[in-house]
């Protein structure tokens, strides 16, 4: 134990070497090295958590830098997980840091989660949140949930009992998955850079409390924080009844998380290779639903421009194309557009949304 490094923690009343040793023995997996994950990772590593895993398959972009302050301008284009691991290793070389530049799926999540004691969910999409939650419930892993949007943030601790009470999980808070595109993430709704820093730091504090047994973690509770007023309130989470959760690995592998938050089958989400293949079909139209001021501007000879603000008027016209592909900056508004068009045409046309949007596939544009 590096007594000098952790000296300010060791002198805390009721903390000392016993609590510090618990931190050194702990294994924490952080999912998402973005606005929430960056501050959480920095404080977990600095505090001396012995083993930290970082899951993120994304690369660093310029729009990340106002809130993901673990990265620099020179890091743009690099993998977040590997870059974060390198910088954190410089912060505390005694911590074992493992990057996982992968996308979490049913086929890999259980084996990965089994290696860690605590899971921090810093993702920004509902598909991942339900997947992560169900894996934690199945493996009986404590889950720390953090989320931000606009000027507000939320924080909770799931899958732990408090005085023998029934433990809550994410599905107790949101038993009914929202329709795809119904709730925008911070990429679409915007976020002030300092907010995920505050909530991510709070999430790290909850993990440290859980590891060391200090304080009262947010077990069966949801903390809501408003940046503009500095007001906070805590809600008690009660057990919901109207949801199904996997009770075995076989059941978990059979769950359909891809359509979990998309309650219609009249459209499909596709990747860039599928879009490129469909583009070669004569009866295909590609529609950019971003507003006219948004960049990058796409080739008007290939992409039609129908901003979401003009979509209802567009829906009044008849579309001759058989294959209609919607795209936007991050794949949120395009899903909403695909849903609206599917209400009109149902299965009579092939309707698609580019998953992840231009931001995910920017190198192809």
* pLDDT tens-digit readout, 301-310: 999 999 999 9
Q: What pLDDT is stored for residue 188 in this prediction?
A: 59
* In a shared domain, residues 246 and 288: no
CATH number of 331's domain: 3.40.250.10
Residue after which a domain boundary falls, among 207, 224, 254? 254
* In a shared domain, residues 112 and 224: yes
Structural domain range at position 329? 267-364
* In a shared domain, residues 12 and 75: yes
* In a shared domain, residues 90 and 124: yes
Q: How far apart are CA 102 and CA 114, in angstroms?
A: 16
**pTM (global) more than 0.85:** no
| Residue 54 domain flag | yes
Q: What pLDDT is stored for residue 81 in this prediction?
A: 95
Q: What pLDDT is stored for residue 263 in this prediction?
A: 40
Q: 3-state SS of the chain?
A: CCCCCCHHHHCCCCCHHHHHHHHHHCEEEEECCCCCHHHHHHHHHHHCCCEEEEECCCECCHHHCCCCCCCCHHHCCCEHHHHHHHHHHHHCCCCEEEEECCCCCHHHHHHHHCCCCEEEECCCCHHHHHHHHHHHHHHCCCEEEEEEEECEEEEEEECCCCCCCCCCCHHHHCCCCCCCCCCCCHHHHCECCHHHHHHHHHHHHHHHHHHHCCCCCCECEEEEEECCCCEEEEEECCCCCCCCCCCCHHHHHHCCCCCCCCCCCCEEEECHHHHHHHHCCCCEEEEECCCCCCCCCCCCCCEEECCHHHHHHHHCCCCCCCEEEEECCCCCHHHHHHHHHHHHHHHHCEEEEECCHHHHCHHHC
Low-confidence ranges of the chain (pLDDT < 70): 161-165, 179-189, 258-265
| Residue 262 domain flag | no
| Residue 260 domain flag | no
Residue after which a domain boundary falls, among 206, 232, 254? 254
* In a shared domain, residues 213 and 327: no
- Residue-wise pLDDT tens digits, 60-92: 988 899 999 999 999 998 999 999 999 999 999
Q: What pLDDT is stored for residue 109 in this prediction?
A: 95
* In a shared domain, residues 204 and 351: no
CATH number of 160's domain: 3.40.50.720
Note whether 76 and 62 are within 8 A (CB). Answer: yes
* In a shared domain, residues 247 and 282: no
């Amino acid at each position: 134990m590096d007594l000098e490094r952790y000296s300010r923690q060791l002198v805390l009343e009721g903390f000392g070497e016993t609590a510090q040793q618990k931190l050194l023995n702990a294994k924490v997996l952080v999912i998402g090295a973005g606005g929430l994950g960056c501050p959480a990772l920095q404080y977990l590593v600095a505090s001396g958590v012995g083993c930290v895993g970082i899951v993120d398959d994304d690369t660093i972009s310029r729009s990340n830098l106002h809130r993901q302050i673990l990265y620099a301008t020179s890091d743009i284009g690099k993998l977040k997980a590997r870059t974060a691991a390198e910088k954190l290793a410089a912060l505390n070389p005694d911590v074992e840091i493992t990057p996982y530049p992968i996308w979490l799926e049913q086929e890999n999540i259980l084996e990965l989660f089994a290696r860690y004691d605590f899971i921090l969910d810093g993702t920004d999409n509902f598909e991942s949140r339900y997947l992560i939650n169900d894996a934690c419930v199945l493996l009986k892993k404590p889950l720390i949930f953090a989320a931000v949007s606009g000027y507000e943030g939320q924080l909770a601790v799931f899958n732990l009992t408090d005085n023998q009470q029934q433990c809550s999980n994410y599905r107790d808070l949101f038993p009914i998955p929202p329709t795809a595109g119904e709730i925008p993430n911070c990429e679409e709704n915007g976020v002030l850079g300092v907010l995920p820093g505050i909530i991510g730091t709070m999430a790290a504090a909850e993990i440290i409390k859980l590891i060391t047994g200090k304080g009262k973690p947010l077990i069966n509770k949801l903390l809501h924080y408003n940046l503009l007023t500095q007001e906070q309130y805590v809600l008690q989470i009660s057990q919901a009844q109207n949801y199904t959760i996997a009770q075995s690995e076989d059941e978990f592998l059979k769950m359909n998380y891809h359509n979990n938050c998309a309650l219609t089958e009249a459209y499909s989400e596709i990747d860039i290779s599928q879009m490129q293949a469909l583009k070669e079909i004569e009866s295909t139209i590609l529609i950019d639903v971003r507003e006219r001021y948004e960049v990058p501007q796409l080739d008007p000879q290939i992409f039609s421009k129908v901003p979401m603000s003009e979509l209802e008027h567009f829906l009044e016209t008849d579309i001759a194309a058989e294959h209609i592909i919607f795209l936007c900056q991050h794949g949120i508004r395009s899903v909403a557009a695909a849903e609206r068009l599917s209400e009109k045409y149902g299965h009579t046309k092939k309707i698609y949304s580019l998953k992840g949007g231009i931001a995910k596939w920017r190198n192809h544009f």
